[in-house]
A and B are shown apart, each in its own frame.
Chain A
Amino acid sequence: MQSIQGILEFIDQIFVNLSFWFSSLLANYLPEWAVTFIMMFATVLVLIVFGLASIIWINIFERKILGRIQDRYGPNRFGPWGLLQCVADMVKLLTKEDITPSRADRLIFNLAAVVPIVPTFMILAVLPFGRGMVATDLSIGFLYIVAVGSLGTIGIFMAGWSSNNKYSILGGMRTVAQMVSYEIPMVLSVVGVILLVGSLSMVSIVEAQGQWRLPFIVLQPLAFVLYFTAAIAEVNRSPFDLPEGESEIVAGYHIEYSGIKFAMFLLAEYVNAFSICAIATTVFLGGWQGPILPSWAWFFLKAYALYFLLIWLRGTLPRLRVDQLMNFAWKTLVPLALANLMVTALVAKLVPQHSLVGAIALLAANLVIIVCIVIVKYPRWKQDKREVVLVSRPPTPQMESS
Chain B
Amino acid sequence: MLGFGILKGMAVTLRRFVDTYVADLRHFPRRYASGPVYERMGITERGAFTIQYPEVKVPMFPRYRGPLILLTDPETGITKCIACGLCERTCPTESIKVTKAEEKVEGQKVPATYEYDMNTCMFCGFCVQICPSDALGHSPELETGTYSKGEALMVNLEQMLELGRKHAPGGVWPVEEKEAQPS
Contact = CB atoms under 8 A, between A and B. Distances in A.
B6 interface: yes
B42 to A, nearest CB: 12
Given A312-B10, A315-B13, A71 B20 contact: yes
Interface in B127-158: none
Interface in B15-45: 16-17, 20-21, 32
Contacts of B1: 378, 381, 384
B50 A377 contact: no
Interface string A85-119: 00000000000000000000000000000000000
Contact of A68 (B2, B10, B12, B48): B48
B105 interface: no
Interface size class of A (residues with CB under 8 A): 10 to 19
B49 interface: yes
Given A312-B17, A378-B1, 5 more contacts: A68-B17, A68-B20, A73-B50, A316-B6, A377-B2
Q: Please provide the 5 A-B residue pairs with the shortest distance between their CB atoms, ordered closest to farther.
A: A316-B13, A72-B50, A68-B20, A316-B9, A68-B17
A313 interface: yes
A71 B47 contact: yes
Given A68-B48, A72-B48, A317 B6 contact: yes
B17 A65 contact: yes
Given A65-B17, A378-B2, A381-B2, A71 B48 contact: yes
A45 interface: no
B13 A73 contact: no
A343 B39 CA distance: 57
A381 B9 CA distance: 19
A180 interface: no
A67 to B, nearest CB: 8
Interface residues of B, number: 18
B10 A316 contact: yes
B10 A71 contact: no
B10 A69 contact: no
A85 to B, nearest CB: 15
A70 interface: yes
Nearest to A67: B48
Contacts of B50: 71-73
Contacts of A69: 13, 16-17
A346 interface: no
A73 B48 contact: yes
Nearest to B32: A73
A374 interface: yes
B14 A312 contact: yes
A70 B16 contact: yes
Contacts of A65: 17
Contacts of B6: 316-317
Given A374-B2, A378-B2, A68 B9 contact: no
B138 to A, nearest CB: 31
A313 B20 CA distance: 18
11 contacts: A65-B17, A68-B16, A68-B21, A69-B13, A69-B17, A71-B48, A312-B17, A316-B13, A317-B6, A378-B1, A381-B2
A279 to B, nearest CB: 22
A65 B16 CA distance: 11
A378 B9 CA distance: 21
B147 to A, nearest CB: 22
Contacts of B47: 71
Contacts of A317: 6, 9
